A and B are shown apart, each in its own frame.
Chain A
Amino acid sequence: MRFKGIILILLVLFSLSCKKEKISDESYFGSKVMIIGHRGFSSYYLKSPGNTLETALISIGIGADGCEFDVQLTKDSVLVFFHDFELDGQTNGNGKIYDHTLEELSKIKYLLFPNIYIQCADSVMEKMPNAHLYYFSFDCKIDNDHEALAEYESMLAHAIQRLCNRLSLTNNIMIEGTESFLLTAKSVGLTNKMFWINNITIESIAKAKMHGFYGFSSKWDSDDRYFELAHQNNLKIMLYSPRNFTENKLSLKKRPDIIQSDDPISILKYLERYNYEYIIP
């Protein structure tokens, strides 16, 4: 009787450990789905607010193909990585990022992470080892309340261009932004892959094709009725913010080209792309 019980437990464990049919990571264009860490692994890694070199290195270390950064411009035209428009709430500073110089920002600390400062994009990308082997998505934060919006967009595009040219990373830095910003970026001569942050509809597909954008950046759970149509029009699809394994798998089912995951570990393990030799510090 006792042994029957043990055998029953073993059988249950055995059946639980059987792997189910896998969702393919083949993309529509015959490549593989690129997996990158959202904000450089921030949502999963509780020791940092993200958008830092340290979190980007973790993304790369665990096997991700790169990471996403939120990009803004300071008053003195320096690219920095920070998510919110306002410093209030997250840091001991206040006001908008673009109202401060880099020197002023360098003194501002995150409230929850007092040892971490807002980082300059140039400095982060310079220190990124083998950056040309990875992909980085620059989510360009555009504050529509900016008094000189067109000028800000142009300066932001120029700053990205300078960075890409200096480090020869044009092929590796993708740009996410509004339609207006991407058009500005194209007009100043940026040739990076440009992803329009927008819902994918028949109208937006036609516009994206007309503007020569590389693809769309959409939330992972956005309406996917026109994904195939976008692909047929040679537009790539980047899905952002799946937060856990289930959302990662649902994102993968939609056959995107890039997934910006808040939980890259689970999807990388699922796709046999996780680097078990790396230990997260």
Chain B
Amino acid sequence: MRVFLALSLFFSNTLFSQVDSTKNIIAKLNFLSLYNVMFDSKHEIRAGVEFEYLQSDKFSWFAYLDAGMYDRYDYYKYFDFFNETVGLHYRKKTVTTYGVNLVSGINYDLPVFKKTKSVKFYISPLLDLNIYHRTLNTTFSNASLTIKDKQFQFCSGLGIAGGIMIRLSNSFFVEVKTNATMLIYRTITKEEKIISALHAQWATANHRFWGLSQIQLGYAF
């Protein structure tokens, strides 16, 4: 039996300090990051840490670091299912990708019609930096041959985020946040094998735009 664990932890201080000054650290679990572990055959072990500082009533800045192993999977491609040429054989790709994603931005709290301490809407311009290192081993079963390959990629993007925080109780809250980011610079050791933004749930086929959504259950302590 194989075991996988994906966990994102986000720490934030001062965010709800107006409500309870003794609870100025909040740990959040991002449930959307569990998607790959629950439904994909990919192994993923990663953690994210976010710090947010309240500068004023309207503005705060945040820096979110998400790092770990994003990819560890095998991809089998079978050929000649009916034994018509050389017989059933496969090509197996074993892919492992480690990476670091740093997303930083400024949150601007949107005005609301009715003042409340339990709900907050915000938008944020952001900068997204990511660095990936991938190893790719390709095995050809009919030739008993394995080709080993490595690649490195640095990428940066600019984007915008929008989100809502809902306070459920004195300690718990839910946050829903979505980022949309556009590529501004990329350097890669193998141009034909671009690595998509691995912290994102959505990316375009040309890897120039990507989106990251988070549904987080937070606990303040």
Contacts and interface: CB of A to CB of B under 8 A. Distances in A.
B35 to A, nearest CB: 11
Interface stretch (A1-9, A93-101, A109-117, A246-254): A1-9
A46 interface: no
Interface in A143-179: 171
Contacts of A277: 95, 193
Contacts of B7: 10, 13
A18 B34 CA distance: 12
Interface in A4-22: 5-6, 9-10, 13-14, 16-21
B76 interface: yes
Contacts of A6: 27, 219
Nearest to A16: B38
Interface stretch (B55-63, B78-86, B123-131): B78-86
Nearest to B83: A31
Interface stretch (B39-47, B101-109, B156-164, B180-188): B39-47
B205 A34 contact: no
A32 B196 CA distance: 30
A13 B81 CA distance: 38
Contact of A279 (B3, B196, B221): B196
B207 interface: yes
A279 B73 CA distance: 16
Given A63-B75, A133-B79, A280-B205, A31 B88 contact: yes
B39 A269 contact: yes
Residue with the greatest number of chain A CB neighbours at <10 A, chosen from B2, B27, B82 = B82
B219 A275 contact: no
A17 B4 contact: yes
A82 to B, nearest CB: 27
Contacts, number: 90
A269 B161 CA distance: 30
A272 interface: yes
A171 B81 contact: no
Contacts of A281: 205
Contact of B3 (A17, A270, A273): A17
A274 interface: yes
Contacts of B3: 14, 17-19
Contacts of B29: 9, 13
B103 to A, nearest CB: 21
A18 B1 contact: yes
Contacts of B84: 171
B143 interface: no
A272 B74 CA distance: 6
B78 A32 contact: yes
A198 B72 CA distance: 42
B5 interface: yes
Nearest to A19: B2
Given A171-B84, A273-B77, A279-B204, A19 B1 contact: yes
B71 A276 contact: yes
A135 interface: yes
A65 interface: yes
Contact of B75 (A16, A32, A275): A275
Contacts of A21: 1
A231 B42 CA distance: 34
B73 A17 contact: no
A13 B4 CA distance: 10
B212 interface: no
B37 interface: yes
Nearest 9 A/B pairs, CB to CB: A279-B205, A281-B205, A17-B4, A17-B37, A2-B221, A272-B74, A272-B41, A32-B78, A34-B81
Interface of B: 1-7, 27, 29, 34, 37-42, 71, 73-79, 81-84, 88, 95, 171, 193, 196, 203-205, 207, 219, 221
30 contacts: A2-B171, A5-B219, A13-B7, A16-B34, A17-B3, A17-B4, A17-B5, A17-B34, A17-B37, A18-B1, A19-B1, A19-B2, A21-B1, A30-B88, A31-B81, A31-B82, A31-B88, A32-B88, A63-B75, A65-B81, A257-B81, A269-B41, A272-B41, A272-B76, A273-B76, A274-B75, A276-B75, A276-B95, A277-B193, A279-B203
Given A13-B6, A171-B82, A281-B205, 17 more contacts: A5-B219, A10-B7, A13-B7, A16-B34, A19-B1, A19-B3, A20-B1, A31-B83, A31-B88, A32-B88, A63-B77, A133-B79, A257-B81, A269-B39, A269-B41, A275-B77, A279-B207
